[in-house]
Amino acid sequence: MPFMHFGCAGGAASLSWASDWVRLHSRQSALVVAVEVPTLTFRPGDTSADNLLSVLVFGDGAGAAVIGSEPAAGCIGIGRTASRLVASSTEALGFERADDGFRVVVSRQLPRLIELNLPALVREFAGDPAALDVVAAHPGGQAIVDSVVRCLGLEERQVAATREVLKTTGNTSSAGILFVLDELGAHLPDRAGQGIAAAFGPGLTVELLELLWA
């Protein structure tokens, strides 16, 4: 499987593939590891606002998760998964090769693009977002999280884990969703529940995971 150029969506995509693999290999487990060093993309010769913004938005980080084949109390399970590519969005997010490294592409229209497309994708995948216990969104920045909350009509309790990770850890690209799920797992409600994880990558790609716990 090609594990390349998934950017911030890489952690969610890897969890999706790992959960599929575990379903096909009973009594086995899978280890997902996401390691990100976005500081390598900093180009000192580029003093543009976009280059400086990319340094402020992204941080280095690493996270890991073990996917098991048997449900465990107090753990988050992964149900259905989906990967969607938003049409005509290739200029919204990604990288471009430059003579002195990689140029980060983060369109200022990205929050608006998410608001225009995410509601239909989520409703097709999981129904009414208001009925979900949690939405574990990629902590891509204040504007991104605010856009997710606004366009899905969420309450702050539904994105509490995302807000906490954004405040304490920030945007560590693909590893970010693993931190959000870790924070969510530490504060699961006593009752059974359902939610989704959503991460955004180059394309614009939207990775969706159904989250379940008992």
Q: Mention every residue, 6+ apart, whose C-beta is less than 8 A from residue 131.
A: none
* Cβ contact 61:179 at 8 Å: yes
Mark 186-212 as b/e (b = at least 16 C-beta within 10 Å). Answer: eebeeeeebbbbbbbbbbbbbbbbbbb
Q: Which of 7, 8, 22, 140 is catalytic?
A: 8
The tokens describing 161, both together, are 């884990």
**Is the sign of the CA dihedral 130, 131, 136, 138 positive or negative?**
negative
The CA distance from 195 to 162, in Å, is 13
In angstroms, how far apart are the furthest CA atoms of the chain?
54
**8 catalytically annotated:** yes
Residue with tokens 């959000």: 180
Q: State the DSSP code for 108.
A: T
Catalytically active residues, by annotation: 8
